A = this chain, B = another copy of it.
Amino acid sequence: MIKVLLADDQALVRGAFAAMLGLEPDIEVVAEVSAGDEVVDAARRTSPDVALLDVQMPGKDGLSAAAELHAALPSCRVIVCTTFGRPGYLARAMAAGAAGFVVKDASPEQLVDAVRRVHAGLRVVDPTLAAESLAVGRSPLTDRERDVLALARDGGTVADLAKALHLSEGTVRNHLSAAIGKTGARTRAEAVRLAEDSGWL
């Protein structure tokens, strides 16, 4: 019997996943949580064999939660599951010690297969995404550039960003210019989009 922990902020898909996995004779869902910072607690209580974590969650990012869980309970294998197949997510998930990475486009069979494979000690990764991940590579952005770009996401002016980060406007523009250059974009907004799609934000 493979004991599984589910973490997803959307109750509907969480429940649906539980129902689907519950249909398998060798899988049992032992815990369900809706926020990233509940993961480790729940895992300590129920000691699952496999944890299925969504990336998008309130409280704590699914990727940080994966790292935390891997550190706290190394025996619990982690699968990261996400709506968006962003190359950077895969890289970060693997760096966080995840054993598997599944996109929500995958078939139901692939998910239960992934659970079994991961439980058996194997790694499960979408090959297409792995190739993309290698092609895109690691983020070329420095920490500050990422900060600035992340804040620029919600459409503030340079002055807003400077105030929020306690920087001079000129510095902000320099960071933005560098980010634009590195992402190959021609606009701040485009740079945000590209960085986001690559999972660099």
**A interface, CB within 8 angstroms of B:** 9-13, 15-17, 19-20, 23, 81, 83, 102-108, 110-111, 152, 154-157, 185-193
Given A15-B20, A23-B19, decide whether A105 and B9 contact each other with a Cβ distance below 8 A: yes
Identical chains bound together, number: 2
- Checking B19, B104, B105, B189 against A19 with a beta-carbon cut-off of 8 angstroms, the contacting residue is B19
**In contact, B108 and A155 (Cβ under 8 angstroms):** no
CA distance A108 to B157 in the complex (A): 42
Min CB gap A182→B, angstroms? 15
Given A155-B185, A156-B187, A156-B190, A105 contacting B10 (CB threshold 8 A): yes
29 cross-chain CB contacts under 8 A: A10-B83, A10-B105, A11-B104, A11-B106, A11-B108, A12-B103, A12-B104, A12-B105, A12-B108, A12-B111, A13-B13, A15-B107, A16-B20, A16-B108, A19-B19, A19-B20, A20-B20, A154-B189, A154-B190, A155-B185, A155-B187, A155-B188, A155-B191, A155-B193, A156-B190, A157-B186, A157-B187, A188-B189, A189-B189
Residue from the list B11, B103, B107, B193 in contact with A154, Cβ < 8 A: B193
Residue of B nearest to A23 (CB): B19
A118 CB, min distance to chain B CBs, angstroms: 16
Please name all residues of chain B whose beta carbon is closer than 8 Å to the beta carbon of A23 when the two chains form the complex: 19
Whether B11 contacts A189 by the Cβ 8 Å rule is: no
Chain B residue with the shortest CB-CB distance to A191? B155
CB of A69 to closest CB in B, whole Å? 21
B-side contacts of A187, CB under 8 Å: 155-157
A189 (CB) vs chain B CBs: closest residue: B155
Complex: chain B residue closest to A106, CB-CB: B12
> In whole angstroms, how far apart are the Cα atoms of A73 and B11 in the complex?
31
